[in-house]
Amino acid sequence: MKNILTAPFVEEMKKTTANMYRLGWDERNGGNISYMLEEDEVAEYLDLNNVLRTIPTGFDATALSGKIFIVTGTGKYFKNVQDDPENNLGIIRIAKDGTTAELLWGYADGGRFTSELPAHLMSHMARLTVDPSNRVVMHSHPTNTLAMNYVHELDEKSFTHTLWEMCTECIVVFPDGIGVLPWMLCGTNEIGMATAEKMKEFRLVVWGMHGIYGVGKNLDEAFGLIETVEKAAQIYMLTAHLPRVNTIKDSEMVELAEFFGVKYRKDFLNL
């Protein structure tokens, strides 16, 4: 059996968490990632019959029974994942009862998965009904996106439209727009359910005055979505107090979207 520390999915998690911390998106123990793995790829590195311990999830995820995830740990700092993945990450399988996670590897210091795992699992369930290739749910606190929450109305159409105006690539990268939730208590099933409902329509969901959720078929895609939003939010924050001389017109956004063949939210434009 191969060494789990050399597994591509462990290496990807190490690099991604380190990069997110470096960018200032995940201060202290902020942020979390869950990445659905294929059973065959995990079986090359772990004995899938060897369950180290079981951990209640606090949520019925029967629809995901048997699915395997690598998940960041609760109270863990992203900056430490690269040097100590076995304590800061865990590989879990959702048990048949749907309310228990079977630990296959990791959380070696007795820890457990992020407290927002129920929100992640709800989002995975919602996204799989829309896009069966969805494998990653990523949550972070990107600085400019968060700052924008305080000076811009938290309305999905206007928030999305403003970001689309900031970079030519935006309507191409997230043509489905951005879902927005008001401030809600984090770490609860309530915010998880609200996020999952938005995930049926959007791949990005802003948690008001908190951060953002992004999803994708792999870590690069989820990261790239958040990265593009954050760049656009940065440009907005740098220019919001200045007179607007130029902008990307709605007609030009249509031209972009149609040229690149993406299905965009026409109702989020002012045509």
pLDDT number for residue 95:
97
**Could you tell me if 211 and 103 lie in one domain?**
no
What is the model's pTM?
0.95
pLDDT in tens, the chain (271 residues): 899 999 999 999 999 999 999 999 999 999 999 999 999 999 999 999 999 999 999 889 999 999 999 999 999 999 999 999 999 999 999 999 999 999 999 999 999 999 999 999 999 999 999 999 999 999 999 999 999 999 999 999 999 999 999 999 999 999 999 999 999 998 888 999 999 999 999 999 999 999 999 999 999 999 999 999 999 999 999 999 999 999 999 999 999 999 999 999 999 999 8
How far CA 123 is from CA of 128, 218, 237, in Å, comes to 8, 15, 29
Q: State the residue range of the domain holding 85.
A: 1-114
**Could you tell me if 73 and 103 lie in one domain?**
yes
Known catalytic residue: 116? Answer: yes
**Could you tell me if 74 and 125 lie in one domain?**
no
| Catalytic residue chosen out of the listed positions 38, 44, 102, 116 | 116
**Could you tell me if 186 and 268 lie in one domain?**
yes
**Could you tell me if 214 and 139 lie in one domain?**
yes
Question: What is the CATH classification number for the domain harbouring 186?
Answer: 3.40.225.10
What ranges make up the beta strands (E) of the chain?
A: 32-37, 53-56, 68-72, 89-94, 100-106, 136-140, 179-181, 204-207, 211-216
Cα 252 vs. chain centroid, distance in angstroms? 29
**Could you tell me if 154 and 236 lie in one domain?**
yes
State whether residue 98 is helix, strand or coil. Answer: coil
